[in-house]
């Protein structure tokens, strides 16, 4: 294998391929480099997530080799010239940039895990920017409790040319809806957070993304990269049952003012559940700490003339839900002091909504 690549392209590609720093299988700490036609392909995996990135290269000799991922990434950051020569010789990889030369030990590419081919005949297409937004605006609500493994990811729910991205930990829920092109059987699949964090590195490089499901894996593909991940097993709860359709109170609030007010109160609360009290009063929302240690209180102006209403929340959950709203105005819809509250944008075209369960205080 002998080829030349652009240093910046090489650096960026290495950042976006998954790699393992430590593993019981030493081969997983390597990238597989494959020179083929006019491209260099970089493969990496931890056996749960598989990613491939291709970049243009001037190929003098095709071939493939495995090399330590971390060492190659570290070296790529300090190369002095824009052109980088990669050459395999004497069971080593030569990395040459100007007067700088490295020789790295290599491993047998036949020991590297085999990647499955993207199932083109099963794929649908979504805009990359919509998918990235959907991931960013939902994964915060996924459960961190490993015993609730079906909630440790984001549910991809395909229903009638709508893709719902949904995450919940049982106390809150975030949903983002995307239109898609193509046909896929109505179904729900749970994608682990680790895979989504890897996918977020890749999505800015794409315009559209093809998504397919085959067996126990979900695939994502653009022009320059492919990511494959194992799906989480188990049944995701019926999230539609917790999204209310009727409300007793609805208020609109300046999003930035509400967020800053929540932050000022939450910062004073030492309890990890961040208990706050939300009080609806004539033309204002009063936010106060529900703590016996430090008292904090703040107010936000709203148009409200109904009866006084009080409800408790985990303040951090309400803050997370509101921060993901786009636009200047947030809408908060209450169903009762003991039942779920809906948070959304005042723009009905915004495909994001959040549900926050109340808290006894």
**How does the average pLDDT of the chain come out, rounded?**
96
Q: Mean pLDDT, to the nearest integer, of 203-217?
A: 95
Q: In CATH terms, is domain 244-356 a member of 3.10.150.10?
A: yes
Beta strands in 169-260 (DSSP E): 172-179, 187-192, 208-214, 217-221, 225-230, 249-254
At residue 309, the pLDDT reads 97
Q: Mean pLDDT, to the nearest integer, of 17-22?
A: 93
At residue 186, the pLDDT reads 87
Is pLDDT at 172 greater than 90 in this prediction? yes
CA atoms within 13 A of residue 172's CA, in its CB half-sphere = 24
For residues 71 and 104, is the Cβ–Cβ distance under 8 A? yes
Residue whose token pair is 């007067």? 99
Contacts of 110 (CB under 8 A, 6+ apart): none
Q: Alpha-carbon distance 140 to 280, whole Å?
A: 27
Q: What backbone torsions phi and psi does residue 34 show, to the nearest 5 degrees?
A: -130, 120
Residue with the larger pLDDT of the pair 89 and 115: 115
At residue 361, the pLDDT reads 83
pLDDT band of residue 330 (cuts 50, 70, 90) is very high
At residue 211, the pLDDT reads 97
pTM of the predicted model as reported, rounded to 2 decimal places: 0.94
Classified by CATH at the fold level, domain 2-111 comes out as DNA Polymerase III; Chain A, domain 2 (3.10.150)
Query: Which residue ranges make up each domain of the chain?
Result: 2-111, 120-241, 244-356
Structure tokens at 306: 């109904």
At residue 224, the pLDDT reads 96
Q: Mean pLDDT, to the nearest integer, of 255-270?
A: 96
Name the strand (E) or helix (H) holding 284. Answer: strand 284-289
At residue 255, the pLDDT reads 98
Which stretch of 166-180, 189-203, 207-221, 281-295 has the lowest confidence by average pLDDT?
A: 281-295
Question: Would 2-111 and 120-241 be classified into the same CATH topology?
Answer: yes
Q: Alpha-carbon distance 200 to 94, whole Å?
A: 31
CATH code linked to domain 120-241: 3.10.150.10
């Amino acid at each position: 294998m002998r080829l030349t690549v652009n240093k910046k392209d090489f650096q960026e590609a290495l950042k976006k391929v998954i790699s393992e720093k430590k593993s019981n299988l030493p081969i997983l700490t390597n990238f597989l480099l494959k020179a083929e036609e006019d491209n260099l392909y970089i493969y990496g995996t931890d056996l749960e997530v598989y990613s491939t990135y291709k970049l243009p290269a001037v190929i003098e000799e095709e071939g493939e080799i495995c090399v330590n991922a971390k060492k190659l990434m570290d070296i790529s950051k300090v190369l002095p010239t824009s052109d980088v020569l990669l050459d395999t010789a004497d069971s080593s990889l030569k990395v040459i940039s100007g007067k700088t030369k490295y020789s790295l030990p290599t491993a047998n590419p036949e020991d590297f895990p085999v990647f499955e081919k993207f199932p083109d005949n099963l794929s649908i297409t979504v805009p990359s920017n919509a998918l990235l937004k959907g991931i960013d605006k939902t994964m915060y609500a996924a459960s961190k409790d490993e015993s609730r493994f079906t909630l440790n990811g984001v549910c991809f729910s395909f229903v009638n040319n709508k893709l719902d991205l949904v995450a919940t930990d049982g106390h809150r829920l975030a949903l983002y809806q995307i239109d898609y092109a193509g046909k896929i059987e109505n179904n729900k699949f749970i994608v682990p957070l680790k895979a989504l964090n890897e996918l977020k590195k890749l999505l800015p490089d794409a315009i559209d993304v093809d998504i397919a499901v085959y067996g126990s894996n979900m695939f994502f593909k653009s022009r320059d990269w492919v990511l494959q991940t194992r799906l989480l097993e188990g049944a995701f709860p019926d999230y539609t049952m917790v999204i209310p359709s009727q409300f007793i109170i609805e208020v609109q609030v300046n999003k930035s003012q509400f967020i800053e007010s929540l932050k000022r109160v939450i910062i004073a609360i030492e309890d990890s559940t961040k208990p706050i009290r939300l009080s609806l009063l004539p033309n204002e929302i009063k936010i106060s700490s529900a703590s016996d240690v430090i008292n904090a209180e703040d107010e936000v102006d709203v148009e409200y003339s109904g009866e006084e209403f009080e409800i408790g929340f985990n303040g951090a959950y309400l803050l997370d839900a509101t921060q993901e709203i786009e636009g200047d105005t947030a809408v908060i819809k209450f169903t009762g002091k003991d039942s779920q509250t809906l948070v959304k944008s005042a723009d009905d075209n915004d495909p994001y909504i959040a549900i926050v369960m109340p808290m006894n205080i």
